[in-house]
Amino acid sequence: MFGITMADFNEVIKAANEVIARVCHLLALIVITVGVAKALAIYLKDIFSSHKSKQAIQESRLEMGHSFSLALAFLIGASILRTTFAPTWNDLGQLATIIAIRTALNYFLIRDVQYLAQQSADEEPGAGAAKEAVDGVD
């Protein structure tokens, strides 16, 4: 109808797939870079202004944790995209391994981020009274 054969269409889709996978890798790189820069800025600001190095480290780790988690999601997406066209069993096995490792990393990363966020909330002034007020509402 438009002079495009199925083979041509398939090649266009493969090329678009590769571009999208590369964009996912680029986005992961950008997210990690911005996360590290923000974490460093938080750390330096807190260290030089309030002398609470433990809190500064926790805030920095939280920022980096969120960034790494998002970057891992982009990398998993890119890995899936790269194996969508005629994957071999070897490709599928590698994909499953990569996804399993990245998912496990993400799980533990999110768990640590939640723990640090809870710990930071508990250390804020008035957090104990607010927690008691919420706990007492049962």
Structure confidence by residue, pLDDT tens digits, 46-87? 777 766 677 777 778 888 888 988 998 898 899 888 888 778
Read off the tokens for 108: 């533990």
* Structural domain boundaries, residue 83: 13-124
- The answer to the question of residue 134 being in a domain is no
Threshold 0.85, pTM exceeds: no
One-character DSSP codes across 42-53:
HHHHHHHHH--H
- The answer to the question of residue 49 being in a domain is yes
- The answer to the question of residue 137 being in a domain is no
- The answer to the question of residue 29 being in a domain is yes
As a dihedral over the C-alpha atoms of residue 76, residue 77, residue 82, residue 83, rounded to 10 degrees, the angle is 80
- The answer to the question of residue 132 being in a domain is no
One-character DSSP codes across 63-96:
HHHHHHHHHHHHHHHHHHHHTSSS--HHHHHHHH
By C-alpha distance, which of 33, 5, 10, 2 is closest to 84?
10
Structure confidence by residue, pLDDT tens digits, 116-135? 788 777 776 654 444 443 34
**Residue 60 contacts residue 39 (beta carbons within 8 Å):** yes
- The answer to the question of residue 70 being in a domain is yes
Radius of gyration of the chain from its Cα atoms, rounded to whole angstroms: 22
- The answer to the question of residue 130 being in a domain is no
Looking at the structure of the chain, the number of domains it has is 1
- The answer to the question of residue 135 being in a domain is no
